[in-house]
Structure 1
Amino acid sequence: MKPITPAEECVLILLAAGRSERFGDTDKLQQEYLGQPLAFHVVTALESVPFKARIAVCSGSELDFGSRGYRVIHNDNPGDGMSGSVKLGVAAAREIGCAAVVVALADMPRVTATHIYRLLDATHGPDAVVASSNGVHPTPPAVFGADQFEALLTLEGDEGARAMVRAGRHVIAPESELLDVDRPEDLERLRTLR
């Protein structure tokens, strides 16, 4: 079996450039959840993971990811969909040099460091694609080995890396950890969870 990929050899790419069209006129990432902006929950949860580097791909958000240890890359074309943000993040990670990237979403506030380590433990070699799953559907966060970077750089549209994720290995996590906030009712549901 190929060796497990350590966090120290990975770059975290946090996608925070979505247009939040289903949420309404406000920036969902700035919405208060348990005393801090929604987007900073995943930032806080992953602070202890010793990534080689952290990249936040943003568009119009006023949140200061730089103060939280992220290199901020501005996505001038959020209308290109998730693939545009993934490509910006992967290009920057490739410049840094890394064994893999961990792609996470800023609107998934209940992701845990434990789950990220489980994804990395399932990542064997540079051709790996390992995604999260609730047992039914694969979802971010996901890990992509360095041999997948070229494929990620050719993605188009809002489909992102879904086809790659579907074909990859899946690590199951509780559905409550993989909730993402797309609409105001998602945030309200989140606020009712303990």
Structure 2
Amino acid sequence: MLEPENVALVLLAAGRSHRFTHADKLAEPFLDKPLAYHVVTALENMPFLTRIAVVSDTSLDFAARGYRVVENPDPSLGQARSLCFGVEAARAAGAAGVLVALADMPRVTATHLYRMFDAAHGAETIVASSDGVRPMPPALFGSALFDDLLNLEGDEGGRELIKRGRHVVTSPAELVDIDTREDLEALRELYGLPTDGK
């Protein structure tokens, strides 16, 4: 059975942010804290076995927030490479599974993740989030999938794997990810913060 206590949280925070100009996207302010710290804060009370942040060229101190930090020296190889670093660290920690979250998804909640654990079924688990149309992260994988995850390449990440798993539907607003500066400005506008970070 997969429970947070025997699962590693793997936070992918090593994106190249090409579509966000050359700024450190994850450090951009939103609601008075760096963008990436929203998911960190939302999940901080979940009792994960270990927390792993895969990073590259960020000023954020994930170690101070309880994460083991793994550096991805070449994020140009795509998201799958970051995922591999995270899975390797999780396997070394003896994790029975990995919960993969993205640092640029600031509205994810612990409530949704607990619903994902409710849908888990052991080492063969593949549970993904869904906006009702397509599956996406956060995603939960049992240890039987570790080898498959380690063989992924490019920017696809676990996309093909999660298509064949269970999908837990939540509000599209919770699953918004920030790829461009326009995405962040739209989110600030939603909260009535058109000048946030100016």
- State the TM-score bracket (shorter-chain normalisation): over 0.9
For residues 33-85 of structure 1, give each alpha carbon's deviation from its aligned partner in whole angstroms, at most 9, with x where no partner exists: 00000000000000010000000000000100000000000000101100000
| 1:110 aligns to 2:103 (yes or no) | no
What are the residue-to-residue correspondences of 1:15-94 with 2, within 5 Å?
A: 15-94=12-91
Aligned-partner Cα distance in 2 for 1:72–1:81: 18
Give the secondary structure class of the aligned counterpart of 2:112.
Answer: helix
Aligned to 2:186: 189
Aligned-partner Cα distance in 1 for 2:164–2:188: 33
Task: Name the aligned partner's letter for residue 76 of structure 1.
Answer: P
Aligned-partner Cα distance in 2 for 1:137–1:193: 23
Aligned-partner Cα distance in 1 for 2:45–2:190: 24
Name stretches of at least 5 consecutive residues in structure 2 with no aligned partner.
192-198
Aligned to 1:134: 131
Aligned to 1:147: 144
Shift of 1:173: 0.7
Task: Name the aligned partner's letter for residue 121 of structure 1.
Answer: D
Number of equivalences: 191
Any runs of at least 4 consecutive aligned residues in structure 1 with deviations exceeding 4 A, and if so which? none
| 1:169 aligns to 2:166 (yes or no) | yes
Give the secondary structure class of the aligned counterpart of 2:21.
Answer: coil
Give the secondary structure class of the aligned counterpart of 1:136.
Answer: coil
Aligned-pair identity (%): 57
Task: Name the aligned partner's letter for residue 193 of structure 1.
Answer: L
Aligned-partner Cα distance in 2 for 1:193–1:72: 32
Aligned-partner Cα distance in 1 for 2:45–2:114: 11
Task: Name the aligned partner's letter for residue 126 of structure 1.
Answer: A
Shift of 1:191: 1.2
Shift of 1:190: 1.0
What are the residue-to-residue correspondences of 1:118-129 with 2, within 5 Å?
A: 118-129=115-126
Shift of 1:12: 0.1
Aligned-partner Cα distance in 2 for 1:105–1:17: 9
Aligned-partner Cα distance in 1 for 2:186–2:113: 24
Aligned-partner Cα distance in 1 for 2:135–2:186: 21
Task: Name the aligned partner's letter for residue 45 of structure 1.
Answer: A
Aligned-partner Cα distance in 2 for 1:46–1:193: 22
Aligned-partner Cα distance in 1 for 2:78–2:165: 21
Give the TM-score of the pair, scaled to structure 2: 0.95
Name stretches of at least 5 consecutive residues in structure 1 with no aligned partner.
none
